[in-house]
Amino acid sequence: MFSASEILSKIRLGQLTALEVTHACLNSIYSTDNELMAWAHVNRDFAIERAKNLDKLQSEGKTIGRLHGIPIGIKDIIDIAGIPTTCGSPILLGSIPDNSARIIQLLEAEGAVIIGKTVTTEFAFMNPSKTKNPHNLDYSPGGSSAGSAAAVAAGHVPITVGSQTNGSVIRPASFCGVFGLKPSAGIIPRVGVLETSDLLDQIGVFANHIEDLTLICDVLAQYDNRDPQSFSSCRPIFQNGLNLKKRADPIFGLVSFDYMDNLDADMKAGFDKLVSSLGNRVQKIDARPFTSTFLDAHKIIHEFQIFQNLGHYLKSNSNELSAPILEALERASIIQNDEFRKAVMVRNEASKFFENLFSRFDVIVTPSALGKAPLLSESTTGNPVCCTIWSLTGLPCINLPLLLGENEMPLGIQLVGNYTADEKLIYAANWLLNFIKKENHDNSHLSDK
């Protein structure tokens, strides 16, 4: 499939129509999704009618938007008027919102074609979804944005939208071998999106090309005072980060945490080789003493707030909840307010800790996951620990699909930027992609996309 940027160019030149692009995506979905199961709901008639209207506008010489004719998939925790929002749970079957989320309004205002809803894990938590990994159907795509990552990897659509509270964008992007970007918390508004944790929930996006991530994030980066985490200062211009001219090589921080001792052999070998190739561009920091403190704070905040938002289901619908979420809600029911406040204090301290570190380097380079995707038979979405601390602090993260592991399964490298320095993060990511191409690394460990 063409990138979204290529599709836009071809539509503007009259070489493609929005309707042709939409039909191609729908045909791809209908031909493979019976096995893959990345989609919760495909709104075929709406998408076709939308594409026809966009083509009509263009034929009349009217201005077209930044996403004119681009098919996009939306994680099924995000409201679209007239389309069910089930959040991966039978409890919400038949729940059809009257209004669209703010990000849907932003996408449609720029000409996007919303194809439908991608599968999420139950309430965007840890219970595995039905979706499979496009690289090997025996493997998990990760979670909770399982369908969003898998749909892009399968070539169903060029861009999808997901969310991350722990590791739900970067981890599935790594497992499915696609680019995934979680911008700084507060840049993209969450109005009309399932709330599990006000302090931790963040919107992210998936694509097969880095320029497509920047394209959509520049559309979604808007202030909305209805979102308590949204801020009113200027947003970064993501696409500016793609310009490599007249900029110094980035300096990478290698921050060690205890969990990095658990990397599988392929991830460790590939990551070590990449770091070695960067030479003196890497500054090493040992943050092991803080590992458990930061991870524990995330767990307390996440479970305390998920209980605030979903705890009522323990009384009304407990028989329709999975074991993982039941257990989490029951654990959370005994967390005291004082424990939560202390965890929030640790979160603030962690943010200051990393802000100080970024005076020494531009971005952090770290694995996106401990290793390749787990087998479906293991009944897990994989360990999110490589993402947890960045979700706690709201720092921007990008997955780069650079490595391959056992059975040719993808492994991702994660870059983490300073808060609201998303443009610098994109620059470092694009620089690294070009650096790898020039270095011509061994494809068994480093393969560019």
Which positions are annotated as active-site residues? 75, 144, 168
Residue the block writes with tokens 């496009």: 134
Residue 7 is encoded by which pair of tokens?
Answer: 């599709």
Residue the block writes with tokens 């703010």: 102
Q: Who contacts 27 (Cβ-Cβ below 8 Å, separation ≥6)?
A: none
Residue the block writes with tokens 């007249």: 246
Buried b / exposed e along 148-162 (16+ C-beta atoms within 10 A): bbbbbbbebbbbbbb
DSSP alpha helices (H): ranges in 235-290?
265-278
User: Residue 374: left if φ>0, alpha if ψ -120 to 50, beta else—which one?
Assistant: beta
Helix (H, G, I), strand (E, B), or coil: what is residue 168?
coil
Environment class of residue 97 by beta-carbon count within 10 Å: exposed (0-12), middle (13-18) or buried (19+)?
middle
Residue the block writes with tokens 């990897």: 153
Identify whether the C-beta of residue 146 lies closer than 8 Å to the C-beta of residue 113.
Answer: no
Question: Could you give the CA distance from residue 194 to residue 374 in angstroms, rounded to a whole number?
Answer: 26
Chain mean position to CA 38: 15
Q: Helix and strand tally (H, E) in the chain?
A: 14, 11
